[in-house]
Structure 1
Amino acid sequence: MLEALKERVNADAGLVRRGRYLTTTFLIQSGDTSWLISIFEGKIVSVTRGPFVMPSSSFALRASEGEWQKFFLAKPPPGSNDLMALVRRKTLRAEGDLQVFMAHLRYFKEALAKLRPAAGGAA
């Protein structure tokens, strides 16, 4: 699922420019599967699938596999179409240094929306 994230985000010059002040590593967990995503100045440099013994990340986004599947639909249902909607419904847990996540929220929303069919736009 997340393997295509690096290529899709890095191909969007506007999104990379929006994240030019963002350098971090964060974790996405879908059920029992985890990925570490490293970003340097808005470009995704690696997407590494776990399992990890002691992953090091700024923050983590954790949801069930079913919730991520709904989020990544071409037209997600209301409440599953936005990261903050998932948080509000308590189906997505955001943990760790949330200042990094919130300061670059639009970047993360648009980056993850790139995994939706038809290239995906802003969430």
Structure 2
Amino acid sequence: MIEKLPELVNNDAALVRRGRWLNDVFMVEVGPVQYLVHVQAGRIERVETGPFVMPSWTFAVRGPEAMWHRFWRAIPAPGDNDLFALRKTGEMSVEGNLQPFMANLIYIKQVLASPRQLETTG
């Protein structure tokens, strides 16, 4: 699902505009699989799939595969619909430099939730 972020995000002009000040690399960990998401002016330039030897990233969002699948449902259950709810339960962790994460929180939340569109479109 993470591999589809460039298509899902870059085709959403409003979302790209929301993230226009973010130029960064962040990691998303879905179970044992790591992804580096490269963002330039709100556009997802590329997504690299690990494993990585010494990855360079600003912040990381990590969680088990089952949690991500619940989060990506078209209509997630209460508690599975928000990054902070999942973090509060201990299923998800956010680490690294949290300043760019918090400064672009709505953008990051929408980027990570964008695979939900795939549930409704098939």
- Unaligned runs of 5+ residues in structure 2 are none
Moved over 3 A (4+): none
Distance 2:53 2:40 in 1: 23
How many residue pairs get aligned? The number is 119
User: Which sections of structure 1, spanning at least 5 residues, go unmatched?
Assistant: none
Residue 39 of structure 1 pairs with residue 66 of structure 2: no
Query: Residue type matched to 1:62 in 2?
Result: R
In structure 2, C-alpha distance between the alignment counterparts of 1:111 and 1:30, rounded to whole Å: 15
- Counterpart for residue 118 of structure 1: 120
One-letter identity of the residue aligned with 1:13 = A
Cα distance in 1 between the residues matched to 2:41 and 2:30: 25
Q: Which amino acid aligns with 1:93?
A: S
Which residue in the other structure is 1:26 paired with? 26
Return the offset for 1:84.
1.1
Return the alpha-carbon distance in structure 2 between the equivalents of residues 31 and 8 of structure 1.
Answer: 22
Letter in 2 for 1:31: G
Q: Does 1:8 align with 2:46?
A: no
More helix by share: 2
Q: CA RMSD in A?
A: 0.9
What aligned pairs does 1:1-123 form with structure 2 within 5 A after superposition? 1-116=1-116, 117-118=119-120
The TM-score normalised by the length of structure 1 is 0.93
Partner of 1:57, secondary structure, is: coil
What TM-score comes out, normalization by structure 2 length? 0.94
Secondary structure of the residue that 2:120 maps to in structure 1? coil
